[in-house]
């Protein structure tokens, strides 16, 4: 898509918000995301090919770009499905679909970066959005695919443990360094190397709640029901 086709929507009256990477504008049932000329984050932007290829992925829990916006042959932004944000409800997380999506991302050469606050609850579902900090390296071997998958599982585990068991990544709140250390210990002490979603509801979670309370005087038992 050429910028000239949608530039009538790119104005202050149609501005929905701004982030560290893009300005966001309404566009029917989608949003227009235009990259800032100067990025406000130290995290490197995904490669052009990685962004383009992402439009071809079919994912259930990641809000991928639907089209790429060009201006004089240069990529200046992209379109995304418009999601209307609801309050955080961790019961919206579809662990099985998320695991399937992580496998698809890994198989296609993507490593997840900067999940943090880049999520949204909408229409009873939990999505990740703003995926343009992901790393893209086309896999040339089974070894590379599995490395992508292993790195992605490690990243999603840190996010889920932080969000669910330590109350991190709440919109409008800064990340606590103390909680970051607790998340690390959670994963190390429980030897969580596989997908965290597979552990939900098992004895290992109950074991950790007792461990965290006794060692750190931290009671995470009430966080798994946060809405």
Residue 167 confidence (pLDDT): 87
- Helix pair angle (203-216, 177-189), 10° resolution: 130
Residue whose tokens read 């790119």: 10
Cα of 199 vs its chain's centroid, Å:
20
All residues at 6 or more sequence positions from 15 whose CB lies less than 8 Å from its CB, including other chains:
23, 24, 25
> What is the per-residue pLDDT for 222?
47
Per-residue confidence (pLDDT) for residue 1, from 0 to 100: 96
Q: At what angle do helices 142-160 and 177-189 cross, to 10 degrees?
A: 120
pLDDT of residue 158: 92
**pTM score of the predicted model:** 0.86
Question: Mean pLDDT for each consecutive 10-residue tract of the chain (227 residues)?
Answer: 97 93 96 90 90 97 98 97 96 96 97 94 96 93 96 94 88 79 82 80 55 53 42
pLDDT at 155: 95
At 77-90, the pLDDT tens digits run: 999 999 999 999 99
Q: Which fold has domain 3-225?
A: Transferase(Phosphotransferase); domain 1 (1.10.510)
Give the whole-angstrom CA distance, residue 142 versus residue 62.
24
């Amino acid at each position: 898509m050429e910028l000239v086709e949608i530039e009538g929507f790119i104005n202050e009256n149609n501005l929905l918000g701004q982030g560290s990477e893009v300005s966001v504008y309404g566009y029917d049932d989608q949003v227009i995301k235009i990259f800032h000329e100067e990025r406000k984050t130290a995290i490197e932007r995904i490669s052009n090919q990685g962004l383009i290829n992402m439009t071809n992925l079919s994912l259930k829990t990641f809000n991928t770009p639907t089209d790429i916006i060009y201006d004089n042959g240069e990529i200046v932004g992209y379109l995304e499905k418009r999601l209307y944000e609801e309050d955080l409800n961790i019961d919206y997380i579809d662990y099985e679909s998320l695991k399937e999506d992580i496998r698809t991302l890994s198989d296609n050469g993507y490593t997840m970066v900067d999940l943090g606050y880049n999520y949204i609850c909408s229409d009873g579902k939990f999505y990740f959005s703003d995926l343009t900090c992901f790393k893209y390296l086309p896999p040339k071997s089974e070894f590379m695919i599995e490395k992508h998958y292993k790195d992605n599982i490690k990243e999603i585990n840190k996010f889920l443990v932080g969000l669910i068991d330590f109350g991190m990544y709440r919109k409008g709140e800064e990340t606590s360094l103390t909680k970051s250390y607790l998340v690390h210990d959670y994963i190390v002490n429980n030897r969580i190397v596989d997908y965290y979603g597979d552990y939900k509801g098992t004895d290992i979670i109950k074991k950790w709640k007792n461990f965290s309370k006794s060692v750190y005087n931290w009671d995470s038992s009430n966080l798994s029901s946060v809405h």
